[in-house]
Amino acid sequence: MTQAKNNTSKKGGFWGSSVGFVILSVLAVLIVSAVCIAVTLFWLDNYTRHGEEVVVPDIEGTFIEEATVLVSQQGLHVEVIDSTYSRKVPLGTVVDQSPKSGSHAKHGRPVYVIVNARTVRTIPVPDLRDMSYRQAEATLRSIGFGVAEIEYEPSVYKDLVLDVKNGDLSVESGTRLPEGTVLTLVVGFGQGTEQVKIPDLIGKNKSDARASLLASRLILGSVEYDEERTAENDSLFFVFAQSPMAGEEILEGSRIDISMTTSVEKVTSSAMHQSEEEFF
């Protein structure tokens, strides 16, 4: 017994025993764990700025560049989540924000915004020709266009739309114009009583041919194509035949039919033939 006690004393006493070693190991683990937890909590507290909140500024109605500065001054940042289009507010301004102004948010958090588009929305002009002017006017207003006035031209069909104009220029259906554009409707008032000379339409595209006819108080009738018309070749078609022929006199408001082609040879041949007839 005395010998065992002496051996324990020689090896370092209690802490040198196996029991002491286990206790020291447990204490070391506890200390390391406590230090790790404290460091983690300290890091999280600094990362999330725990308990630190700022007042969200009012950025609705401001331009997005200005809103970004105002929000960053409060330790927040802007995130654009959507865009819309409204004619009631300036282009490029914030129309909605979340969180709302005056509320509190943690430092570094985002303020989500919806921004009004920077450019005016464009709308395709619908095909209104041969539509009653009242229906055409209602259609234009319903999709975002305005109607400035109605111009009347002779036509065999009374109160039907003959043309749509933006200023002094005819507008083809499908042409995209800014929302809010004010258009003019050209409407027939019935066939006139005067004789007018038919203009030469050979070599003109459809838009120019229509404008030339309207200037002569005539209207465009049927339009035929000598080949399939596609989006790719639409701008390549030109008039190579018309009926009645150019130079004839006809009652104002009458319709003139045209035939169109992409063939330069056909257009050139028709133009030469027209010139020969006028010469003789």
Residue 250 sits in the same domain as residue 204: yes
Residue 125 sits in the same domain as residue 107: no
Residue 177 sits in the same domain as residue 250: no
Residue 43 sits in the same domain as residue 72: no
Tell me if 250 sits within 8 A of 238, measured CB to CB.
no
Give the domain-ending residue among 144, 171, 190.
Answer: 190
Count of structural domains, the chain: 4
Residue 204 sits in the same domain as residue 273: yes
Residue 199 sits in the same domain as residue 280: yes
Residue 272 sits in the same domain as residue 222: yes
The per-residue pLDDT for 16 is: 60
pLDDT tens digit at each of 280 positions of the chain: 444 444 444 455 655 667 666 777 777 777 877 787 877 777 666 655 545 788 999 999 999 999 999 999 999 999 999 988 888 889 899 999 999 998 898 888 999 999 998 888 889 999 998 889 899 999 999 998 999 878 888 777 788 898 898 988 888 888 999 988 999 998 888 777 788 999 999 999 988 898 888 888 888 888 999 998 887 888 899 999 999 999 899 888 888 999 999 999 989 888 887 665 654 5
Residue 209 sits in the same domain as residue 260: yes
Tell me if 218 sits within 8 A of 255, measured CB to CB.
yes
- Residues in contact with 97: Cβ distance below 8 Å, sequence separation at least 6, in sequence order: 56, 59, 60, 67, 111, 112, 113, 114
Residue 256 sits in the same domain as residue 202: yes
Q: Which CATH number does the domain housing residue 250 bear? A: 3.30.10.20
Distance CA 192, CA 253 (A): 6
Residue 57 sits in the same domain as residue 137: no
Note down the domain range covering 83. 53-116
Residue 209 sits in the same domain as residue 262: yes
The per-residue pLDDT for 153 is: 81
Distance CA 112, CA 126 (A): 37
Give the domain-ending residue among 116, 131, 158.
Answer: 116
Distance CA 146, CA 137 (A): 8
Residue 157 sits in the same domain as residue 95: no
Give the domain-ending residue among 150, 168, 190.
Answer: 190
Locate 273 and state its tokens.
Answer: 């033939």
